[in-house]
């Protein structure tokens, strides 16, 4: 299927820079490595290239539709996305300052930065030394989750679905990371009903499954089911 046709089905036909960048990324894939070895077909490769390009230009991307079009499960799509991104050497980032400006919550910036630093410290402390090197806190989902939790703590209106789209993740992955942050950093994010001992958080090991550096060493079978909590608060009301 032509890149333009796939972009149109994903609602990106009006974003020419995104389509051009995706076409460039697909050519790089064809030159640098055989994506079929990774189990990624041509249509899925085009879709993933569009998502990477959309994230780069901060254009909203419909991942649920992308997963449906790819014919993969959500977990398989995320695994393929990270494999292709790593193969291309592309690092997707999400800047806290840009989020603050975009959502009109500039005053949250220092709180988010403090929360991310504290979360990284406590998360690593709760892991055995042998597993600490497999974590990557530079992924956009961590920044987006921290921003959302800080907004919730300070009772500011933030569109969670838009945040999820901007960071190019799934709802389940976003919820998993948010829950872990709320558990480990109650004093910063203040979402959990009670503060928990970081060494007793059961989610730390499972959270590594959403990190690309962990997935690189996985075999094709899944050893455990993903679990996530329900979060129905897509937007938060501002209270006077």
Verdict on whether the full-model pTM lies above 0.75: no
pLDDT of residue 114: 93
Can you tell me the mean pLDDT for 141-159? 92
Cβ-in-10-Å burial (0-12, 13-18, 19+) of 166 comes to buried
pLDDT in tens, 167-178: 777 788 899 999
Q: Is residue 193's pLDDT more than 80?
A: no
Q: Is residue 187's pLDDT more than 60?
A: yes
Among the ranges given (84-93, 142-151, 194-203, 218-227), the one the predictor scored with the smallest mean pLDDT: 218-227
| Contact present, 51 and 21 (Cβ < 8 Å) | no
Nearest by Cα to 85 from 59, 116, 54, 110? 54
Among the ranges given (25-34, 70-79, 120-129, 204-213), the one the predictor scored with the smallest mean pLDDT: 204-213
- Can you say how many angstroms the Cα of residue 149 is from the centroid of all Cα atoms in its chain? 15
pLDDT of residue 27: 94
Highest mean pLDDT among 110-114, 165-169, 226-230: 110-114
pLDDT in tens, 198-213: 555 544 545 554 454 4
228/96 Cα distance (integer angstroms): 25
Looking at residue 234, what DSSP letter applies?
A: S
CB neighbours of residue 120 within 10 Å = 15
pLDDT of residue 197: 54
- Give the contacts of 148 (CB within 8 A, at least 6 positions apart): 158, 160, 163, 178
Cβ-in-10-Å burial (0-12, 13-18, 19+) of 190 comes to middle
Residues forming CATH 1.10.472.10 domain(s) in the chain: 3-88, 96-189
16/75 Cα distance (integer angstroms): 29
Q: Please provide the average confidence, as pLDDT, over all residues in the chain.
A: 79
pLDDT in tens, 70-109: 999 888 888 888 888 878 888 767 889 888 988 999 999 9
List phi, psi (to 5°) of 45.
-60, -45
65/62 Cα distance (integer angstroms): 6
Nearest by Cα to 170 from 100, 91, 84, 72? 72
The more confident residue out of 126 and 20 is: 20
- CATH 2.40.280.10 is right for the domain spanning 3-88: no
- Give the contacts of 226 (CB within 8 A, at least 6 positions apart): 75, 172, 176, 206, 209
pLDDT of residue 239: 40
pLDDT confidence tier of residue 137, bands split at 50, 70 and 90 = confident
* Architecture, CATH, for domain 96-189: Orthogonal Bundle (1.10)
202/118 Cα distance (integer angstroms): 18
């Amino acid at each position: 299927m032509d890149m333009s046709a796939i972009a149109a089905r994903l609602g990106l036909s009006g974003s020419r820079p995104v389509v051009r960048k995706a076409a460039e990324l697909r050519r790089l894939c064809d030159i640098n490595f055989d994506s079929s070895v990774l189990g990624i077909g041509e249509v899925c490769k085009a879709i993933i290239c569009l998502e990477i390009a959309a994230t780069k230009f901060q254009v909203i991307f419909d991942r649920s539709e992308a997963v449906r079009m790819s014919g993969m499960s959500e977990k398989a799509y995320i695994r393929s996305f990270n494999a292709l991104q790593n193969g291309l050497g592309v690092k997707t980032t999400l800047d806290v300052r840009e989020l603050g400006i975009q959502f009109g919550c500039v005053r949250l910036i220092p709180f988010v930065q403090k929360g991310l630093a504290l979360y990284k410290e406590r998360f690593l402390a709760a892991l055995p030394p042998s597993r600490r090197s497999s974590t990557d806190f530079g992924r956009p989902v961590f920044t987006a989750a921290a921003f959302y939790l800080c907004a919730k703590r300070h009772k500011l209106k933030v569109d969670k679905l838009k945040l999820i789209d901007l960071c190019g993740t799934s709802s389940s992955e976003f919820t998993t990371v948010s829950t872990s942050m709320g558990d480990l950093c109650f004093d910063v994010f203040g979402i959990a009903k009670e503060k928990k001992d970081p060494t007793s958080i059961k989610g730390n090991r499972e959270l590594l499954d959403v990190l690309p550096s962990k997935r690189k060493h996985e075999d094709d079978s899944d050893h455990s089911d993903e679990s996530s909590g329900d979060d129905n608060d897509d937007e938060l009301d501002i209270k006077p």
